């Protein structure tokens, strides 16, 4: 799949996820076949006002490339200024603007999916940004109740110069409840000439194949299904390639988690995340996972967390 001037080796992308898609986790997803990974959302206002910790969410390394960073905001000028700062710092291969986050802390500030209610402002944001930066620009949107309004938004984004659109098939009001409606992505794909990526409820090879065949979209973006499970990209790829269904047992998760912990240390990221929560995500779906999550809550240091991880498969057998 080609996005702008970037040729990707495949069409599976990791969604930007707040408090999740740090560099270490993105590298794990790349290892297992994610063609492009996005950073956590970065506040454009925070970058412009010199918040170093926000800007450093864009940190990357050669092994990750190509990579994308995602910004949120509601001012054409501020978003563009922040994009220029980050472009100069990290040389991203893609800059995505968030039009999909439904969290009240984001929408109450007029950002994320709240912007979908202001089509003229969206046109201004993307026209200004696409003219101001050298990096290809993409947009991640949610759908509106009206198909016509959603399609109008997609056309506005294409006209403004974005090189691709990702469509999450839920409204802002739905949050993550209910089922994603991929008929919107299908309609947008039929209307636009740029790549369209579909997002929402893609959990495994079966759902991935079904969504691709139904929508005709160019790629899939995987979000919550990847939390604590970077191996999901490998399983989906294998199914799409040859129909093979493969699992991910405790030993695989343990080894992936130990590698992830090492990468967090390598890039000095451990203190920037809720380490216990991340470890707990990796235990989902395992036998005895409820007890594992309870046990990890008592860990009082990184060493004790590592020791827990090394022995987690013994707990699965109990």
Q: Point out the residues that are catalytic.
A: 101
The DSSP bridge partners found for residue 166 are 140, 197
The pairing of beta strand 36-43 with beta strand 12-14: parallel
For the chain, list the strands marked E by DSSP.
2-3, 6-7, 12-14, 36-43, 67-72, 94-99, 137-142, 164-168, 196-199, 219-222
CA nearest neighbour of 1 among 241, 195, 235, 158: 195
Return phi, psi of residue 173, to 5°.
-65, -30
CA dihedral 161, 18, 248, 298 (to 10 degrees): 170
Return the number of other C-beta atoms located less than 10 Å from residue 253's C-beta. 24
């Amino acid at each position: 799949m080609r996005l702008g001037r970037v040729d990707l080796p495949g069409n599976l992308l990791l969604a930007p996820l707040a408090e999740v898609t740090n560099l270490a986790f993105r590298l794990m997803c790349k290892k297992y076949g994610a063609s492009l990974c996005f950073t956590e959302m970065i506040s454009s206002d925070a970058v412009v006002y010199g918040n170093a910790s926000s800007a450093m969410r864009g940190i990357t390394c050669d092994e990750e490339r190509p990579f994308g960073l995602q910004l949120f905001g509601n001012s054409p000028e501020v978003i563009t200024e922040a994009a220029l700062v980050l472009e100069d710092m990290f040389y991203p291969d893609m800059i995505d603007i968030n039009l999909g986050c439904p969290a009240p802390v984001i929408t109450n500030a007029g950002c994320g999916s709240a912007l979908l209610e202001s089509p003229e402002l969206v046109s201004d944001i993307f026209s200004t940004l696409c003219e101001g930066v050298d990096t290809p620009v993409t947009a991640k949107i949610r759908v509106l109740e009206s198909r016509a309004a959603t399609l109008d938004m997609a056309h506005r984004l294409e006209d403004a110069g974005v090189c691709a659109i990702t469509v999450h098939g839920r409204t802002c009001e739905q949050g993550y409840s209910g089922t994603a409606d991929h008929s919107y992505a299908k309609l947008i794909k039929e209307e636009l000439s740029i790549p369209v990526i579909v997002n929402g409820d893609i959990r495994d090879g079966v759902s991935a194949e079904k969504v691709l065949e139904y929508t005709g979209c160019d790629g899939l973006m995987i979000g919550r299904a990847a939390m604590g499970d970077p191996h999901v990209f490998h399983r989906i790829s294998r199914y799409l390639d040859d129909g093979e269904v493969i699992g991910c047992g405790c030993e695989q998760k343990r080894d992936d988690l130990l590698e992830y912990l090492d990468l967090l240390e390598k890039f000095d990221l451990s203190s920037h995340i809720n380490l216990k929560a991340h470890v707990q995500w990796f235990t989902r779906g395992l036998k005895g996972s409820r007890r594992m999550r309870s046990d990890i809550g008592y860990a009082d240091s990184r060493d004790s967390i590592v020791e827990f991880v090394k022995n987690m498969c013994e707990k699965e057998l109990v």
